[in-house]
Amino acid sequence: MIFISILFVSLILATGCISQDAGPLLATSSPPGASSGSFVPPGGSSIAIAFKTDEISTTSPEAKEQFIKGLTYSTQYARYNESLAFFDAALAIDRNFSHAWIAKGVALHNMKRYDEAIKNYDKALEINPDDAGAWSVKCITLRDSGKTAEAAECNQRAGEYDAGYRNNPGPTITPVRTESCDGYFPLVQPGGNVWIGEKCLNVSAGVSSGQVISWYKNGHPGNATPDARRIVGDAGNFFADPREFLGYEGTWYIGTTDKIAFVVRVPILDTQK
C-alpha cells in the first residue's frame, strides 16, 4: 500500500534514463543530517509518500535496500538530489520495480519537473496499470502542471481503481471515519499538529463533532473557495485517515472562517518492520 500526501515533505530531482544493460549503481553512504542547502523551487504542491516495507514491489533484497535508502534521503532528510542515485540503483537492479518509478516521479514533481515526473509514473503504470497510488500522484502532478483537463480524466481513472481515492473532492462531503481505541485519546490543542495515520485523537479543543473543516491549496482562506472539505465525525475520537488527508497537508480551518482547527503533517518514514 502506498500512502500519499501533499505539502508534508518534498521529494527529488530527475536524471536521465537508466540503460537496460547498465550494472547496479550501488550507493553505500548513510544519510547525513538535513541540509539547509536543499533547494525546492517555490510554488505548486509537494508530495510525500510512504510504503509498508512488506509490500514493496520487488523480489530483490538489493533493490529494496537501495529503494529504502532513497526514501530515507528524500522523506526523512530532505536530500532530494542524493535520493535519485538510490532510486536509479534500485531500477538498475530491477527494471520492473514499479514503486521505485513512482518514488522517482514524486521526487521530480517536488522539484517541479512535472513532465519528467509523469513519464516515471507512466513507467510504473506500464508495469501495474491498476495501481491507484500511481494514478493518484499522476493526477496531482497533472493538476499542478496546469493540465486540468488531463487531471480530471486522471481522477476518473484513479477512481476506477480505488473507490477510496478522494484527491479531487466533489460537492459531497463525507465524515472522516473513526477507529476503535483502547481508551487513550491524546488532546490536540487548536492549531496543533495532527500526523497522517494517527488514531484516537481528541481534537475537540479546536473543532466540534459534525463541523466542516476546509483546506486551501494556497494555505490560507482569504476570499477563496476551499479546495477540499471534510466533516469531523467524532472530534473526541479523530482518525487522520491517509485516504482523506494525504495530499491535503497543512492548515485546516473551521468552515470558511480563518479559525484554525489543526495542522496536518506527514510523519517521518519508518523503514523498520
Identify the residue with better confidence: 11 or 177.
177
Mean pLDDT across the chain: 75
> What pLDDT, on a 0 to 100 scale, did the predictor assign at position 178?
62
Q: How many CB atoms lie within 10 A of CB 61?
A: 9
pLDDT digits (tens, 9 = 90+) for 190-234: 999 998 888 889 999 999 887 888 899 888 887 678 888 888 888
Averaged pLDDT, 33-47: 53
Q: What confidence category does residue 143 fall into, taking pLDDT thresholds of 50, 70 and 90?
A: confident
Q: What is the pLDDT of residue 101?
A: 94
Of residues 222 and 133, the one with the higher pLDDT is 133
Q: Would the pLDDT of 269 be above 70?
A: no
pLDDT computed for residue 76 by the predictor: 66
Do residues 201 and 238 make contact, with C-beta atoms less than 8 angstroms apart? yes
Q: Given CA atoms 251, 118, 97, 1 in this order, what sign does their dihedral have?
A: positive
What string of DSSP letters covers 78-91? --HHHHHHHHHHHH
Q: Which domains does the chain have, with CATH numbers?
A: 2-161 (1.25.40.10), 169-273 (no CATH)
- Please give the model's pTM, rounded to 2 decimal places: 0.53
